[in-house]
Amino acid sequence: MLKIHILYDFKEGPWGGGNQFLTALRNNLIQKGAYTDNVVEAQVIIFNSHHFGRNVHFAYKLHKIRMSSPTTAILHRVDGPISAVRGHDDPADQIIATANSIFSDATIYQTNWSKEEAHRRKMALHPRSVTILNAPSQELFNRSDIKKRQKGKKIRLIATSWSSNMRKGFAYYSFLDQHLDWDKYEMTFVGNSPISFRNIRHISPLNTEEISKILRDHDIFITGSANDPCSNSLIEALHSGLPSIALSSGGHPEIVKDGGLLFSSDQELLEAITKVSQNIKDYQKNIRLPTLSDIADQYLEFAIKVYGEKNENKVNIKSHTVGIIFILNLNIKMIAARFRDYCSALLRKLK
C-alpha cells in the first residue's frame, strides 16, 4: 500500500479549518493503512504552503526531501487565493505560487472557485491538478442524534468562526443581532468575534467534539464569510444535518447546493432565514456531500496516479535554493510591514 505523509504542524484543541480537516484526513488515511508518520517512509507528501510560508524550515525540509528522494511525489494543497480571502494583496499568494513551481508535482484545489480565482490572478499553479472538497470526521459530524425542533419553540440559528476577521461575516451577524425577530428565533455564535452582541449568545471557541454536539442542538447554520474557498465550518454544519444559509461568495455555492439558500444582502439574508425555517426538513433531505472516507479515497487515488506518472528527472538544486531565499525575503518584508503598522498604531495612540 502506498504511504502518504502530511507535512503539517498539527494542533490540538480549537484551531482553524485547515487544521481540523487535515487532522480528520490523516486519521482516515491511517484507518485505510495508507499513512505514515515517518516522512522518510512516504512515497507521497502533502503540504500546505500557506501554512508553512512564514517558516523557512518547512521549505528546507521539502528541499531535503527532493534531494534525498527524487521519486517521492509532492502534492500541494492550495488555499485561497489569500488576497481574495483577506481583501488586500498578500505575499502569501507569492509564497503559494513559488512553492508550487519549485516543490510540487501536482496541485490539489479545495473548490473550483479557488482554482478559477487562482488562474484569474495568474498565479501559474501546476498544470496537473484536481479539485477535492473537504469533509469532517464522520464519527463526530453526523445526523445521529440531531435534536428535533419542538412545535412552538424558537428556531435555533448558529454561526461559527475561528477567525475574528470582519470578512468572516461579522457585518451580517451584527445586522441580525439588531434586526432578527427574537420572538421567533434565537441565535448562537461560537468562536472569536471582533464585535460584541446584544441578543446573539456568544460562546468562546470549542474543540471539535464540542462543536459537533452544539451544531446538532440547532436548526439552521449561517455563514456570511466573503471569498471563503472551502469553509470547514459550513461543511461541518451540513454534515451534521443543518440546512445552511451562506453568502453567495467563494466556494459556498459549490458546497450548499440544494441543502440551503444563498444571499447577497441584509434583506436577502432575512428572507432566506424565513424561507428555510419554513421548510427545514425539505432542505435537510437535499443535503448531498461526500463523506470523509470518500474524500480520503479521492486523495489516495490522485496520490497513486501522480506517483505513478512522476518523472524521475534530476532535481534542480539551484531553483530550490533560490526559492528558499525568495520565501525568506518575503518573510522579512512581512515582518517589516507588520512592524511599521505596529509603530503607526502606537503613534496614533500617543497623539
Q: What is the pLDDT of residues 221-246, one digit of tens each?
A: 999 999 999 999 999 999 999 999 99
Say what the pLDDT of residue 320 is: 52
Which of residues 289, 312, 334 is at a domain's end?
A: 289
Confidence of residue 315 (pLDDT cuts 50, 70, 90): very low
Are residues 21 and 70 part of one domain?
yes
- Give the Cα separation of 308 and 19 in Å (integer): 28
Say if residue 288's pLDDT is above 70.
yes
Confidence of residue 316 (pLDDT cuts 50, 70, 90): very low
Say if residue 92's pLDDT is above 70.
yes
Whether 264 is in a domain gets the answer yes
Do the Cβ atoms of 199 and 177 come closer than 8 Å? yes
The enclosing H or E element of 7 equals strand 4-7
Average pLDDT of every residue of the chain: 85
- Give the orientation angle of helix 232-239 with respect to helix 208-215, to 10 degrees: 50
Residue 61's contacts (CB-CB under 8 Å, 6 or more residues apart) are 7, 39
Domain with 317, as residue range(s), is: 4-135+293-344
Say if residue 6's pLDDT is above 60.
yes
Q: Which residue has the cell 425555517?
A: 277
Are residues 238 and 171 part of one domain?
yes
- Give the Cα separation of 312 and 72 in Å (integer): 9
Whether 125 is in a domain gets the answer yes
Pick the range with the lowest mean pLDDT from 68-72, 132-136, 149-153, 211-215: 149-153
Do the Cβ atoms of 235 and 139 come closer than 8 Å? no
CB atoms within 10 A of CB 245: 29
- Give the Cα separation of 252 and 272 in Å (integer): 15
Residue 292's contacts (CB-CB under 8 Å, 6 or more residues apart) are 24, 25, 28, 135, 136, 137, 138
Measured CA distances, 304 to 62, 81, 249 (Å): 19, 27, 33
Are residues 201 and 117 part of one domain?
no
Task: Cite the beta strand spans of 51-194 per DSSP E.
Answer: 73-78, 106-109, 129-131, 155-161, 185-191
Are residues 237 and 192 part of one domain?
yes
Confidence of residue 196 (pLDDT cuts 50, 70, 90): very high
- Give the Cα separation of 303 and 181 in Å (integer): 50
Whether 141 is in a domain gets the answer no
Say what the pLDDT of residue 287 is: 96
Whether 312 is in a domain gets the answer yes
Q: How many domains does the chain have?
A: 2
